[in-house]
Structures are given as C-alpha cells and as structure tokens.
C-alpha cells in the first residue's frame, strides 16, 4: 500500500492543523 507525495503532504497538513485544534479543544473544555 504505497502512497504518493501529495497524499503524504495532505496527511501531514491535516495532522499539523488538527492536533493543535484538538489539544486546545480538550484543554479549553469546550
């Protein structure tokens, strides 16, 4: 199951954006 460069960049971008948002959401308690 090989993924290309675009797929890898997309996954990295999603993780980069979602992790801080999830952290803030959990810490904020909202």
Examine the pLDDT at 18 and tell me if it is beyond 80. yes
User: What pLDDT score was predicted for residue 1?
Assistant: 56
User: What pLDDT score was predicted for residue 30?
Assistant: 63
pLDDT averaged over every residue in the chain = 87
Coil, helix or strand for 2?
coil
Q: Quote the pTM value.
A: 0.49
Q: Provide the sign of the torsion angle of the four alpha carbons 14, 29, 26, 23, taken in this order.
A: positive
Coil, helix or strand for 1?
coil
Higher pLDDT, 30 or 5: 5
Mean pLDDT along residues 17-30: 89
**Residue found by looking up tokens 């290309």 in the block:** 4
Query: Measured over all CA atoms, what is the biggest interatomic distance in the chain, rounded to whole angstroms?
Result: 38
Q: Is 29 left (phi over 0), alpha (psi -120 to 50) or beta?
A: left
């Amino acid at each position: 199951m090989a993924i290309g460069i675009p797929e890898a960049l997309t996954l990295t971008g999603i993780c980069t954006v979602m992790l801080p948002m999830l952290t803030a959401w959990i810490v904020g308690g909202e």
